[in-house]
Structure 1
Amino acid sequence: MEQQSFPKLRQDLCQVCALLYQRGYVASNDGNVSVRAGEGQILVTPSGVSKGRLTPDMLVLCDLEGRVLEGNRHPSSETPMHLLLYRERPDVGAVVHAHPAAATAFAACRRPLDVPYLTEVVSGLGPIPVAPYALPSTPEVPESIRPFVRDHKGVLLANHGALTWGSDLWSAFDRMEQLEHTAKIYCNIALLGDGVPLNEQQVAAIQALEGRYRALAGKRDKEEANG
């Protein structure tokens, strides 16, 4: 059998897909996942394969124009959506698209997750907007998310699902998990009917604290790198 490139990345991507399937964030052939693989290349899930049965040899290696470099399957029809993120955000290393039930319900209602009810959302996930409806698997989809990719960590796709991104596969997956967890909590808040959002001063204080933590972490990483 021919040796495939990026074996560790392939294994990690399949593990992320298996978790998406096990947690009910995707069903059947739903969803797609990609990761940067070297300069100007990505590994992406193929069309027509359940994420619960994906194996490393099924993944497709593409360039940033979507041309297949390695693999005998068709890349996901939503690959252009992933490619837009990689072109617009050099810091993004992986992208996850899924249909988790609660988050997708918000997408179908075209209701953003942007009310600051939770400290963890303010300091971590941030507000999640809703992109306008776009016909799946068409150029409308990447254009619909373009306004949101610079300043957010994820977006709801109207009447479709959810999209998150991060510096690597696990951060992109973690954000999808946090997005769905947040959507479930916001559903319960809506049922109770009297949620109290954080005020502007409280939000600002959380953001300032988070900024200090990031600065300290950056300083520590620099010191460790310098020995």
Structure 2
Amino acid sequence: MDERRLREAIVEIGRRLYERGYIVASDGNLSVRLPESGRILTTPTGVCKGFLTPDMLVVVDAEGRKLEGILPPSSELAMHLEIYRQRPDIHAVVHAHPPCGTGFAAAGMSLDKPLVSEVVLTLGCIPLAGYGTPSTEELVAAIAPYVPHYNALLLANHGAVTYGPDLETAYFRMETLEHFARITLVAKLLGREQPLPAEAVQKLFQIRERAGMTVPSQALCGLPDRAPSSDETLTLTRQQLIELIAETVEAVIRFLRLAR
């Protein structure tokens, strides 16, 4: 894809992120590697990514020095450059603040349980990187240990970052992250998460390997030895059951209203 079309693609993905509520105001940033040049095309800082135009984008070199553009580049550019430095296979990065995923990040909770087969298959584990002050080297240091092993990260008390071989893949990984966060939240509200057994997860990773989607995250995923037994008995009084159902229904309704 040539630079003109990449600029148009960034504008489109910025619009999608904004319309889905994954970013607000001047939140978030996107970038792509420009083919065969070693340069990076990135969003500018301080503007709403939902209303970009192609001429607003900025070209920088591999060290982050501005080469083209009127506006200053993203203030979080160093995070993007670290991902590109560690992962030659990566050609696009998306950073956003999707509400549910960011809620998990703010709660200090990762999304690394194998609860949904499609997520294990397409994305793998989503760990929580420690907190680093945005736009500083602290954030770069926080993500650095995870970048070689994962394609999506939660950023503690901050947001999420996803990356891939092209911009569309990086964006869809952000969609998957947020979708999985919502599913996980509903499972928690219902009072039980039931992970896939290790054998099932291994089969999914084998499919990933055959499809060429694997990074060395398999050894780092915390997999259960077995799935919880479906015949485990939970004892509740009638009143406790009524209260649990009422609380769960109320919590799900609140969540669905917030998710609109």
TM-score (norm 2): 0.79
CA distance in 2, matches of 1:197, 1:150: 25
Q: Give the residue type in structure 1 aligned to 2:109.
A: R
Q: Does 1:20 align with 2:17?
A: yes
1:48-74 Cα deviation digits (max 9, x unpaired):
110111110000000010000100110
Instruction: Determine the structure 1 residue equivalent to 2:85.
Output: 87
Instruction: Determine the structure 2 residue equivalent to 1:31.
Output: 28
Alpha-carbon RMSD: 1.3
Instruction: Determine the structure 2 residue equivalent to 1:224.
Output: none
Instruction: Determine the structure 2 residue equivalent to 1:132.
Output: 130
CA distance in 2, matches of 1:205, 1:138: 40
Uncovered stretches (5+) of structure 1, i.e. residues with no partner: 216-227
Q: Does 1:117 align with 2:115?
A: yes
What pairs with 1:65-214 in structure 2 (closer than 5 Å)?
65-214=63-212
Q: Secondary structure at the match of 2:23?
A: coil
Identify which of structures 1 and 2 has the higher relative contact order when contacts are C-alpha pairs closer than 8 Å and 6+ apart.
1
Aligned residues: 211
For the structure 1 residues 214 and 146, does the alpha-carbon distance in structure 2 shift closer, same or farther, using more than 3 Å as the test? closer
CA distance in 1, matches of 2:85, 2:97: 24
CA distance in 1, matches of 2:97, 2:207: 33
1:161-200 Cα deviation digits (max 9, x unpaired):
0000000000000000000000000000110112211011
TM-score (norm 1): 0.90
**Mean alpha-carbon deviation: is it higher for 38-47 or for 91-100?**
38-47
Uncovered stretches (5+) of structure 2, i.e. residues with no partner: 214-260
Q: Give the residue type in structure 1 aligned to 2:72.
A: H
- Runs of 4+ that moved beyond 4 A: none
Q: Secondary structure at the match of 1:178?
A: helix
Give % identity: 50
